[in-house]
Amino acid sequence: MYKIIISKIIELQSKQVPAIGIGLFRFLYGLVALQEIIFLLYFNHLIFDPIPYIDIEFPMIPFFLFLWGIIASFIVVGYRYQFAIISNYIFWIIFVNFTTMQRDFDGGFDSFMIGAGFFLLFMPGDRAFSIDNLRYKLSAPFKHYSSYAQPLVSSLAYYLPVVICLGFLYFDSSVHKLFAEHWRNGLGSWLPSTQPYYVSAIDMSLLLNNEILEKIIGYTILVFQFSFMFFFSKRHLRSLYLIVGLGLHLGITLSLNIYPFGMGMLIFYVLLVPFSWWRALAQLITAKEPALTVFFDQQCPLCNRTVLILNHFDIFHCIDFKSAQTYASHYPAMAAIPPESLLLDLYALDVNGRIYSGVDTYSQILRKMLYLYPVGLFLSLPGIHLLAVKKYRAIADSRNRITCSTDCLISHKLQDNTWYHRVFECFAIKKPKAFSRKLSRILIAILVLQLNSTIHYGLLYRLDLGLKSHPISASIAEASNALIMVSLTFLGITPHALYLHDHFAGYDHILAITYTDKNGIEQWLPFVNEQGRLLSPNWGRVQSMWANIAVTPTINNVRLQKFIMKVTAFWGHKTNLNLNDTVFHIQLKKIEAPFYWVPDQLHKNFSAPWVTIGSVNWRANVISFDLPENINSL
């Protein structure tokens, strides 16, 4: 096995492929991280305060979330990539392990993002669609943009994150699914979608009420997850796994209210897109002929940098930039312009023979880029145009007084200090055998960590062999748990036993909260509605808190009261309620979570009646409960 891994590493390392997929993966990962940080900012009092808005334990949380948001924005645009991705990785580990996020508000999303963030540390995420790539070009402004070849990277950068973050996850999850009756019945995707706490605002009844289709989906998921790790890299199967995987996680994102997990999984499928598809897409969206030809002073440093910047953002290749000294005379329409005037302004020629100069040239460039058309139109507005002309004139005239010495013609390339470059392009090229051996050992170590989690929780825990009763096996179990803590913290390797039989067995009641307003009318707190659905934005990790920890098949009153306190304090403040004058009512609804198919089960659960089982009061910022001692028996 060791030799097979080494030979595979050498094969993949030697294969150079376009970096476009890596760049899009970085961009989408940054967007998912950024939306989650915004979510944490909105719910920061609910998640981090012991008593929301009353007992604030971490007053600096919003500040650090704001810093983290800046880092995530850097990742999105690809600016200072290595610094940004390291900082993001550290932020995620600190927030998960030193706040209440992991204990009460997890849901499996954080571990996945930590694992993806770890691999991004060593991926060439700055090679495409990034500001860093532009900075690299600007460090040598006298090299024409057309001379920059499409960046190529090792195919290992595509293969390793997919096989570990998706392949290992799927295999571990499928092992757990074999122990779940509803998954063995082909209803793995059907059952969660019939539970009010788990569904989104989209009604999927048309699919849920088709038993045969639901079973086809359920069994397809099992086969897909079991086989993914072994066959996704096969060229003739790659497209199949891409389409099925996209359908699976798009379905999770749309039908369930754990959308962050669905989106986090979806972004990995950018790495599975065949390179021929990217080439076909590029041909489809790229302009066949340039809509505008721009002439610039090739000896001017500022003009060269301007052209590099504009070309970098011309993603549809609608603009052609040419040297005024060399090419202007080739166009009859430009012959009337004196050569010295061509060097004073930026001139442009469109397909209809119209000539533009100065600010008008910039306006046309932005319009011809298509997606920046509104900006170009804004620049041509009378008042804005006048201000832009004055600013442009000041810059252009001062630029004309600058003479370029021979020093400015020397290229001063930025140094590539990314970990990918150091490891995969420097060390691997100089010592390919040593590189393959060391990387293979690292991969085997990660494989062992994953197998430890899968065997421990996926097999031994579920088979309940009574190993903890023996001193030796108990010690081994403790060591295994310690390894799982390490792998979870730094690599995101964790058991993926989501929504299985031990979660839904006995899940026959759900709770909601209402309150009596000033007019004596009972209102629903904007948390759980009359159907039993968790309302937006109470999805993601907030849904996990209420549906997986507070309300379970066997409700623990201590935990339930803790989260009722948090929810009433948070949403009471958000809805401008006076807590000390408001009586909250706890509602209970009976539902069913069958392991066999039942027609229209979702709407049956929606329409079940509510019963008031208790109340909650706040007095002087202290909460008191009037609840049954054993809610499970109701």
Residues 532-575: pLDDT tens digits? Answer: 999 999 999 999 999 999 999 999 999 999 999 999 999 999 99
Beta bridge partners of 516: 522
pLDDT value at 420 more than 70: yes
Terminal-residue alpha carbon distance, the chain: 56
Q: pLDDT category, 31, cuts 50, 70, 90?
A: very high
Measured between alpha carbons, how far is 94 from 84 in angstroms, rounded to an integer? 15
Structure confidence by residue, pLDDT tens digits, 355-399: 999 999 999 999 999 999 999 999 999 999 999 999 988 887 776
Strands (E), 300-388: 319-323, 347-350, 355-357
Q: Which domains does the chain have, with CATH numbers?
A: 16-141 (no CATH), 287-403 (3.40.30), 505-633 (no CATH)
Q: What is the pLDDT of residue 407?
A: 47
| Enclosing H/E stretch for 511 | strand 509-516
Sheet holding 319-323, edge to edge: 319-323, 292-296, 347-350, 355-357
pLDDT at 465: 60
How far from chain centre, in Å, is Cα 420?
21
**Distance between CA atoms of 377 and 366, rounded to whole angstroms?**
8
* 337 phi and psi angles, rounded to 5 deg: -90, 125
Return the half-sphere exposure (C-beta side, CA atoms, 13 A cut-off) of residue 491. 23
Nearest to 117 by CA among 162, 85, 77: 85
Task: Return the percentage of the chain with pLDDT > 70, whole number.
Answer: 94
How far, rounded to the nearest angstrom, does the alpha carbon of residue 374 sit from its chain's CA centroid? Answer: 28
Does the pLDDT of residue 344 top 90, yes or no?
A: no
Question: What is the pLDDT averaged over residues 24-32?
Answer: 97
- Give the residue-averaged pLDDT of 300-322: 89
Looking at residue 406, what is its pLDDT? 43
Q: How far apart are CA 537 and CA 527, in angstroms?
A: 9
CA distances from 381 to 292, 358, 363 (A): 21, 15, 10
How does pLDDT run across 437-481, given as a tens digit for each residue? 999 999 999 999 999 998 888 777 767 665 566 677 678 778 888
Q: What is the pLDDT of residues 230-241, one digit of tens each?
A: 999 998 999 999
Q: Are 495 and 176 in contact (CB under 8 A)?
A: yes
Neighbours of 472 (CB within 10 A): 8
- In 3D, which of 417, 412, 418 has the Cα closest to residue 143? 412
The span from the CA of 101 to the CA of 11, in Å, is 41
Q: Specify the DSSP class assigned to residue 192.
A: G
| Residue 409: predicted pLDDT | 46
